[in-house]
Chains A and B, each alone.
Chain A
Amino acid sequence: MAARMIARSVTRRRSRVAIAVAAVAIGATTLFSLASIALDIPRQMSREMRSYGANLLVLPADGAEAVTPEAAEAVAGTISAEQLIGFAPYRYFNVRINEQPFLASGTDLESARTVSPYWHVEGAWPERAGELLIGSDVAAVTALGAGEAVSVVVGTDAEGPVAHPFTITGVLSTGGSEDALVAMSLADAEALAGPGGYDVVEFSIASQPDQIAALAESINAEQPGQSAQPDQSAQSAQPAVRAAPVKRLTQSDTYVLDMLQSLLVIVSLIVLALTMIGVSTTMMAVVAERRTEIGLRKALGASNRSVVAEFMAEGMVLGVVGGIGGVVIGYALAVAISDNVFHRVPAFSWPLAAATCAAAVGVTWLANRVPVRRAAEVDPAIVLRGE
């Protein structure tokens, strides 16, 4: 009968129930949407930071001339496939174009595009041998542009400087040091500068700054691919590479994340407090208008405990309904906000949904407790008095 009374109260007092549920749902909506975004921000920010370039550099160890392709692969092998966005090797050498010296970089252009998505190319990316990109500064100095042929002169040997014909496919602009570069494929670089290793390998890893720092330490402490033979010489035991996190980016990453998360936590707590006040006020009004009904129940023989239990149970039902409604609306809100701000859709978190419903029920319980207990003390004689 108690369940029947609660069900009838919820289904037949629709306007009053709607007000109470709305009060709970508004709080749950705000809480779930804020928490969804707060939990998703590390993932969102990590992705955002990726577009700003590499966050781990692998360089030749002290005393070594270059990073070998094998060492680069070995480092890549220590990073999980889910986390490794890509890595791009770079080999730098000097060239002359139109009698002016420039720094050229040979790289895996496809990997460079992955690791450095902010590279903007006006024209096209090189696809064949004999094609290259020139940085916007180079283009300005040489007055060259996409589609033009150019002679790239490398070094001097016994027969004098060697000119290599290339075609400029595009002009590269990044707003950074790459604007002063001439970029070409590794194969072309080797053709011009001869075989050799890499001067630097840039890694883009989807991970938190502290994890990247730990990875760098691990690489520096234990060189991947290093032989563990006991008879290895002291020299060969030294790491062939050293790793360094890109500090400026990781620090700003951490700062922004901490700031946003702190802000969202504070806002969530304020929302929770406001929800408590709102729900409490609503429940007080709802219970107050049922004072006569409570008096009648007591006149019919209901104990205070029974009245409190029934009204609290009814409040819990409203809390669950409001909580579920809040989760649904809150997720829609979180999607809308994330889509507009981060251009990403946050994943639906079942544990967070359960926690939000639990918080809604908890807040409703707390908000109901005082007015219901007070109402249960109502004198049943008010019914006889006709009040």
Chain B
Amino acid sequence: MEPNAGGPLLEIADLSKVYGPLKALDQVTLNVDQGEWLSIVGPSGSGKTTLMNIVGCMDQPTAGAVRLDGRDLSALGAKELTQVRRETVGLIFQKFHMIGHLTALENVMVAQYYHSLPDESEALAALGRVGLAERATHLPSQLSGGEQQRVCIARALINYPKLVLADEPTGNLDADNERIVLDLFAQLHEQGTTLIVVTHDPAVAAQGEREVRLDHGRIVQEIRHRAARPGQVLKEAGHVA
């Protein structure tokens, strides 16, 4: 498979995922361009997490096609999916999920270790980029929620992934830390990183260039945001049949 060059980084066509009688995703079609910041919103049970799992190479669709960076994920086995996830995707979770007995620096290095080779100075530099260089030797229990999420962002970015998937990244943060995290996402977006952010928060969703609303496994609305200046958002809404 040739890596995708110039076209959409993620191409989803008629994607369905069925759990018994439940249709978690129902013929979803969605493209995400390289460097785009996409927000996915929707109520609980709308299929957001299922879509994230499939895009994050942690689940397989029942029907339809998913191409990530030119590779058809639906045709890959578990080992190949792990490889794609390792090389292409950076994951950020709502509950942070740091390894409790490792320091902030070591948590970042774990991602390096599974990707290629750990490099302590590079991991320290990644922590520096999220403003936590001086907290590198602290254990997760010694970090605030906002600091833990910033460590997770550093961990997600350490291997220079083409796609960053963030699941409710500000769900457990206060307003100040939410602002810090969103500023970091804005920096990544400016640097050309492709972002897909799942959120319940309209303010967070509005930070993306595009917002997709899921309901009962289908895309029911797509909104394109145009940021005029920081904090101000113009909307162009379009409903999907």
The answer to whether A381 and B95 touch (CB under 8 A), given A8-B101, A297-B114, A301-B82, is no
Q: Closest chain A residue to B113 by CB distance?
A: A1
In the bound complex, do residue B86 and residue A300 qualify as a contact, i.e. CB atoms below 8 Å apart? Answer: yes
- Per a CB cutoff under 8 Å, which of A2, A13, A298, A386 touches B113? A2
In the bound complex, do residue A299 and residue B58 qualify as a contact, i.e. CB atoms below 8 Å apart? Answer: yes
Does B118 make an interface contact (CB < 8 A)? yes
A interface, over-half SS: helix
In the bound complex, do residue B91 and residue A300 qualify as a contact, i.e. CB atoms below 8 Å apart? Answer: yes
In the bound complex, do residue A301 and residue B114 qualify as a contact, i.e. CB atoms below 8 Å apart? Answer: yes
In the bound complex, do residue A299 and residue B106 qualify as a contact, i.e. CB atoms below 8 Å apart? Answer: no
The answer to whether A303 and B82 touch (CB under 8 A), given A1-B109, A380-B58, is yes
In the bound complex, do residue A4 and residue B58 qualify as a contact, i.e. CB atoms below 8 Å apart? Answer: no
Chain B residues with CB under 8 Å of A380's CB are 58
In the bound complex, do residue A386 and residue B91 qualify as a contact, i.e. CB atoms below 8 Å apart? Answer: no
Contact with B along A294-315 (1 / 0, CB 8 A): 0011111111001000000000
- Interface size of A as a range: 20 to 34
Contact with A along B79-105 (1 / 0, CB 8 A): 100110111000101110101111000
Does B110 make an interface contact (CB < 8 A)? yes
Does B139 make an interface contact (CB < 8 A)? yes
Chain A residues with CB under 8 Å of B118's CB are 1
Chain A residues with CB under 8 Å of B109's CB are 1
Contact with B along A366-387 (1 / 0, CB 8 A): 0000000000000111011110
Does A210 make an interface contact (CB < 8 A)? no
Chain A residues with CB under 8 Å of B93's CB are 383-384, 386
Chain A residues with CB under 8 Å of B58's CB are 299, 379-381, 384
In the bound complex, do residue B114 and residue A306 qualify as a contact, i.e. CB atoms below 8 Å apart? Answer: yes
In the bound complex, do residue B111 and residue A300 qualify as a contact, i.e. CB atoms below 8 Å apart? Answer: yes
Chain A residues with CB under 8 Å of B114's CB are 297, 300-302, 306
Does B215 make an interface contact (CB < 8 A)? no
In the bound complex, do residue B110 and residue A383 qualify as a contact, i.e. CB atoms below 8 Å apart? Answer: no
Contact with B along A1-30 (1 / 0, CB 8 A): 110110011001100000000000000000
Does A122 make an interface contact (CB < 8 A)? no
In the bound complex, do residue B85 and residue A301 qualify as a contact, i.e. CB atoms below 8 Å apart? Answer: yes
Distance in angstroms from A206 CB to nearest chain B CB is 55
In the bound complex, do residue A5 and residue B85 qualify as a contact, i.e. CB atoms below 8 Å apart? Answer: no
Chain B residues with CB under 8 Å of A386's CB are 93-95, 167
In the bound complex, do residue A1 and residue B49 qualify as a contact, i.e. CB atoms below 8 Å apart? Answer: no
Could you tell me the distance between the alpha carbons of A367 and B114 in the complex, rounded to whole angstroms?
26
Q: Closest chain A residue to B95 by CB distance?
A: A386
- Per a CB cutoff under 8 Å, which of B59, B97, B110, B155 touches A292? B97
Does A339 make an interface contact (CB < 8 A)? no
Could you tell me the distance between the alpha carbons of A1 and B52 in the complex, rounded to whole angstroms?
29
Chain B residues with CB under 8 Å of A381's CB are 49, 53, 56, 58-59
Does A293 make an interface contact (CB < 8 A)? yes
Q: Closest chain A residue to B118 by CB distance?
A: A1
- Per a CB cutoff under 8 Å, which of A13, A297, A299, A302 touches B101? A13
In the bound complex, do residue B59 and residue A301 qualify as a contact, i.e. CB atoms below 8 Å apart? Answer: no
Chain B residues with CB under 8 Å of A379's CB are 58
In the bound complex, do residue B49 and residue A384 qualify as a contact, i.e. CB atoms below 8 Å apart? Answer: yes
The answer to whether A384 and B102 touch (CB under 8 A), given A1-B113, A297-B114, is no
Chain B residues with CB under 8 Å of A297's CB are 99, 110, 114
Chain B residues with CB under 8 Å of A300's CB are 86, 91, 110-111, 114, 155
Contact with B along A346-382 (1 / 0, CB 8 A): 0000000000000000000000000000000001110
Does B138 make an interface contact (CB < 8 A)? no
- Per a CB cutoff under 8 Å, which of B56, B110, B113 touches A384? B56
Chain B residues with CB under 8 Å of A385's CB are 49
* Beyond known contacts A299-B56, A381-B58, A384-B58: 5 more, CB 8 A cutoff: A300-B91, A301-B86, A379-B58, A385-B49, A386-B93
